[in-house]
A and B are shown apart, each in its own frame.
Chain A
Amino acid sequence: MIGKRTLAYAEGVADDLFKALADSTRRTILDELAERSGQTLFEICSRLSMKHQLGMSRQAVSQHLAVLEAAGLVETRREGRYKFHDLNTAPLRLITERWPPPDPSGPQESTS
């Protein structure tokens, strides 16, 4: 049986995920990390300003990254003197597990 506390925790995780996704700049960051994982803060800022004309302060980008990190969608790793940001799409499974899309290979909904 799932306890109330577990449910509250699961909803907390979902809140973090949907909050992270509910912002177009953060979705753009995910797009860019999907193109190439392992980017420095500088590269992410450059891509946002040069490719998407999303000129914003480095601090603002850092805050967006912190929200994505809280949701588990972005992970950071230190490599020597550098810090890289990686995309982790695993948390997105929460969505499809909770509301599975129709299986295209499965039986079609009956129309007759």
Chain B
Amino acid sequence: MKIHLTSVFVDDQARAERFYTDVLGFVKKHDVPVGGQDRWLTVVSPDEPEGTELLLEPAAHPAAVTYRDALVADGIPLAQFAVDDVHAEYERLRGLGVGFTQEPTEMGPVTTAVFDDTCGNLIQIATEPQ
């Protein structure tokens, strides 16, 4: 078994597409209408085009709102992405206007930071020791 797709709920798929591609630098993999305004919208890392897809899923379900608000209030990220250098990525994203709830911090062997994806979620970036 392999993990080939995981998802985050997003408030607005169009905005999420812009944020996850233009700001974070992922590339769109699938974009298929699935009824109404909703799309099956996935992105992948340019470093791993055949790697795990991230589904940007509409947060239309009422429970998704409660779930995400409670997690965000406590600063809990919904996904983690690996970067080569958390500090450099922090500076880059800050320059693009991204807000962080946790600045780069050494957590034992791992350095992490947490930012707001502007679509209702917190995302953690991490650099693991070489």
**Partner among A41, A51, A58, A84 whose Cβ is within 8 Å of the Cβ of B107:** A51
For window 66-112 of A, CB contacts with B under 8 Å fall at 81-84
Given A82-B73, A82-B75: A42 and B105 interface contact (C-beta under 8 Å): no
| Pairwise interchain contact A81-B72, C-beta atoms closer than 8 A | yes
Query: When chains A and B are docked, how far (Å) is the Cα of A51 from the Cα of B112?
Result: 12
Contact check: which of B69, B74, B109 meets A58 at CB < 8 Å?
A: B74
Give the nearest-CB partner of A78 in chain B. B73
Total A-B pairs in contact (CB under 8 Å)? 49
Q: CA separation between A28 and B79, bound complex, in Å?
A: 27
A43 to B122, CA, bound (A): 12
B105 with A40: CB separation less than 8 A: no
Within 8 A of A (CB), among B77-125: 77, 101-103, 105-110, 112, 114, 122
Determine the distance from Cα of A83 to Cα of B72 in the docked complex, in whole angstroms. 8
Instruction: Number of A interface residues at 8 Å Cβ cutoff, please give it.
Output: 15
B76 interface residue per 8 A CB criterion:
yes
User: Could you tell me the distance in whole angstroms from the C-beta of A33 to the nearest C-beta in chain B?
Assistant: 13
A40, B101: Cβ atoms closer than 8 Å: yes
Contact A42:B76 (CB < 8 A) given known A50-B108, A81-B69:
yes
Q: Knowing A46-B107, A47-B107, say if A39 contacts B73 (CB, 8 Å).
A: no
B74 touches A36 (CB 8 A): no
- Complex CA gap A51/B105 in Å reads 10
Tell me the B residues contacting A by CB distance below 8 Å: 69, 72-77, 101-103, 105-110, 112, 114, 122
A-B contact pairs, 24 of them (CB 8 A): A40-B101, A40-B102, A40-B114, A42-B74, A42-B76, A42-B77, A42-B102, A42-B114, A42-B122, A43-B101, A43-B102, A43-B105, A43-B114, A46-B107, A47-B105, A50-B107, A50-B109, A50-B110, A51-B106, A81-B73, A82-B72, A82-B73, A82-B75, A83-B73
